[in-house]
């Protein structure tokens, strides 16, 4: 019985059952994050871009809530989650 190696590649998961992309804001001072906001899947690149911007804007609303409790926290970052998968390739 012999063994063979196989190449694999990592790629963005665009399958219909893939988990959605999501955005969340994170405080750069304390590391606390707001809730993730999922990007709704759309049929065209234009409407997908619009849905992405809307999800980013919705995620950004958390900044106001966090800052009202933490007046000295002035810097934030947008954290984006994109699903990826491993795809089997050629046998070696």
Q: How far apart are CA 22 and CA 79, in angstroms?
A: 8
Q: How far apart are CA 29 and CA 72, in angstroms?
A: 9
| Segments making up each domain of the chain, as ranges | 6-91
Compute the CA torsion angle 30, 83, 21, 42 (nearest 10 deg). Answer: 170
- Side-chain-side CA neighbours of 77 within 13 Å: the count stands at 8
| pTM attached to this predicted model | 0.82
Q: How confident is the model over 10-49, as pLDDT tens digits?
A: 999 989 899 999 999 999 999 999 999 999 999 899 999 9
* Best CA proximity match to 14, nearest among 48, 46, 55: 48
């Amino acid at each position: 019985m012999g063994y063979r190696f196989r190449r694999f590649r990592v790629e963005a998961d665009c399958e219909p059952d893939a988990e959605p992309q999501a955005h969340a804001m994170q405080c750069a001072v304390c590391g606390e994050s707001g809730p993730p906001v999922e990007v709704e899947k759309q049929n065209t690149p234009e409407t997908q871009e619009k849905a992405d911007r809307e999800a980013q804007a919705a995620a950004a609303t958390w900044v106001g809530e966090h800052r009202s409790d933490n007046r000295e926290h002035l810097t934030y970052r947008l954290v984006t989650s994109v699903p990826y998968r491993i795809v089997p390739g050629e046998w070696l």
